[in-house]
Amino acid sequence: MPKRKLVLMLLWLALAISAMSAYLLKPEWFSPENILVLLKQTEGYVLAVYVAASLLRGVFFVPSTPFVLAGSVLFPDLLGWVFLISMAGVVAGGSYIYFFTEYLEVDKLFKTKHADRFEQVKSGMEQHGIWIVMAWSFFPVVPTDLISYAAGVTKMPYWKYALGLVLGEIPLVGFYVFSGKALGAWMLGA
């Protein structure tokens, strides 16, 4: 692996481990309430900060759910925008992972260490990729990042991956947006 790729991978790995550690050690920092407080502190730039946070959170493997809920609480009159921003964040986060695995040639690692398993996964993704990505993305208790890695490592065509991701996430993000509005009304006593 070229030196620049190794440096980039190590830097990203350090940032991702830091973010994941913060998420595991201090989950309250990532609660919808605390995200709401952070966004309210940036009063004049709230929407811009929300868009940037939604688009960048995937780089650090931070789940989208708290951001979707916080957006629904912050912008109860802009739920359509919250939905679109959240979907853009999901696709951006998944795309970072998809392309990052290809750029760093992670597939070579899987092909050498787990060759038999890799071929099974690749075969499944070639035959039923859109459906696998869609079902995985819809199921809320499994991290979408894993299917993004699988799609990137198996070199599933990006458009198929993105389509499956969007179709799987639409109902889930929609549910979070509209239930987030109700949660926000309850939290704020309205």
**Tell me, what amino acid is at 120?**
Q
Mean pLDDT of the chain: 83
Residue 132 and residue 19: Cα distance in Å, rounded?
Answer: 28
Residue 129 and residue 132: Cα distance in Å, rounded?
Answer: 5
104 neighbors 10 (Cβ within 8 angstroms): no
pLDDT band at residue 91, thresholds of 50, 70 and 90?
very high
Does residue 187 have a pLDDT over 70? no
pLDDT at 167: 96
**What is the H or E stretch that residue 127 is in?**
helix 115-138
Backbone angles phi, psi at 39, to 5 degrees: -70, -35
Does residue 84 have a pLDDT over 90? yes
- Spell out a b/e string for 141-177, using b for 16 or more CB atoms within 10 Å of the CB, else e: eeebeebbbbbbbbebeeebbbebbbbbbbebbeebb
Among 37-46, 62-71, 82-91, 92-101, the range scoring the smallest mean pLDDT is 37-46
pLDDT in tens, 44-80: 677 888 899 899 888 777 888 888 888 888 888 889 9
Closest CA to 68 of 189, 167, 172, 147: 172
Tokens of residue 54, six digits: 């939604």
Segment 37-48 shows an average pLDDT of 74
Closest CA to 96 of 145, 136, 48: 145
Q: How far is CA 92 from CA 26, 44, 64, 98, in A?
A: 25, 25, 11, 10
124 neighbors 153 (Cβ within 8 angstroms): no
The beta strand positions in the chain, using DSSP E, are: none
pLDDT at 1: 61
Does residue 131 have a pLDDT over 90? yes
Segment 119-142 shows an average pLDDT of 86
For the whole model, what pTM was predicted? 0.74
